[in-house]
């Protein structure tokens, strides 16, 4: 099996991988908040279609990924990477249409946290997993949303589906990153990802998908939510184990809550914040035990 020798975009190899992850976290959460402002006109599916389509065009134009000479295994991995990206985005936006951003991200964060716990195999991490589960249950039972005393059930289901796709994304992206030079794998995966929301995107967005102002906002969402974070994360995954990468993103819920407040005016209640704090604390706990463990 061949491995990539290039280090992605020029200069990224000199940036600490932790800084890459945190920059990606900030970009993607404020991009998600901007995306939510498009749901009234485009729906979650139409917004997802614009985000992924623009991201694919930008990445292909900049990276110019090479297909010739690729093994069938490498192409299959790029396709799997793309399917995970596309499904994760569609499910998350459908959940975000029904659940506040900070809560949606906290529930979705069960994906990378689950990867960290499963791959660590340390008993202490089961404690952190239980803490995160308590936080998610608190959100599901009493979080802000439609209906008395709980989240919108369909929104919760979509967020959990996005969590599963995020876990798959972490595992597949790491493998795909080792098979491609630079960001070729991300560019090819984004082309596949853009195909996932085509049907729901056209049905929900209709002719609004061609409105110049909405197209411009869709391009901005693509840059913030896909091009920038996925490029940074792919480079970080090249130098980090999958479980470490997952827990380094422990600030995701906090950044999402901030973005939701600043851009969408979504103020969360005390119970929501306590539940989110449990998930963040759990991910930090997993990160500390992972850092303390000896390398295999």
Q: Pick the residue with more confidence: 266 or 115?
A: 266
The alpha carbon dihedral of 141, 269, 152, 26 has a sign of negative
Degrees, nearest 5: CA angle 94-97-98:
100
| DSSP element (H, E) containing 134 | helix 123-142
Work out the average pLDDT over 6-10. Answer: 50
Q: What is the pLDDT of residues 153-185, one digit of tens each?
A: 899 999 999 999 989 988 887 777 777 766 777
- Cα 94 to its chain centre, rounded Å, is 14
Q: What is the pLDDT of residues 181-233, one digit of tens each?
A: 667 778 888 899 999 999 999 999 999 999 999 999 999 999 998 878 877 87
Distance between terminal CA atoms of the chain?
21
90: CB partners within 8 A, 6+ apart: 44, 45, 48, 196, 197, 200
Q: What local confidence, expressed as pLDDT, does residue 139 receive?
A: 83
Grouping H, G, I as helix, E, B as strand and the rest as coil, residue 2 is: coil
Q: For residue 27, give both structure tokens.
A: 């970009």
């Amino acid at each position: 099996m061949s491995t990539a020798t290039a280090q992605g975009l020029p200069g990224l190899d000199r940036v600490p991988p932790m800084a890459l992850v945190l920059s990606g976290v900030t970009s993607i959460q404020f991009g998600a908040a901007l995306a939510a402002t498009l749901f009234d006109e485009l729906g979650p599916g139409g917004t997802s279609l614009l985000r992924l389509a623009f991201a694919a065009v930008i990445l292909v134009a900049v990276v110019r990924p090479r297909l010739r000479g690729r093994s069938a295994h490498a192409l299959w991995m790029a396709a799997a990477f793309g399917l995970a990206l596309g499904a994760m985005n569609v499910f998350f936006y459908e959940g975000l249409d029904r659940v506040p951003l900070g809560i949606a991200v906290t529930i979705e964060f069960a994906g990378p946290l689950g990867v960290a716990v499963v791959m660590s195999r340390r008993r202490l991490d089961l404690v952190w997993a239980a803490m995160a589960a308590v936080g998610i249950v608190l959100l599901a039972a009493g979080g802000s949303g439609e209906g008395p005393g709980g989240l919108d059930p369909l929104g919760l289901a979509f967020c959990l589906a996005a969590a599963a796709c995020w876990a798959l994304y972490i595992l597949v992206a790491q493998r795909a990153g080792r098979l491609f030079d630079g960001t070729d794998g991300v560019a090819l995966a984004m082309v596949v990802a853009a195909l996932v929301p085509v049907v729901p995107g056209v049905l929900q967005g209709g002719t609004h998908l061609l409105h110049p102002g909405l197209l411009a906002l869709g391009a901005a969402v693509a840059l913030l939510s896909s091009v920038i974070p996925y490029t940074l994360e792919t480079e970080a995954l090249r130098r980090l184990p999958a479980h470490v990468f997952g827990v380094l993103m422990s600030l995701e819920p906090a950044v999402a809550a901030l973005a939701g407040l600043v851009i969408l005016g979504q103020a969360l209640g005390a119970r929501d914040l306590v539940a989110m704090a449990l998930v963040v604390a759990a991910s930090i706990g997993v990160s500390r035990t992972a850092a303390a463990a000896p390398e295999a």
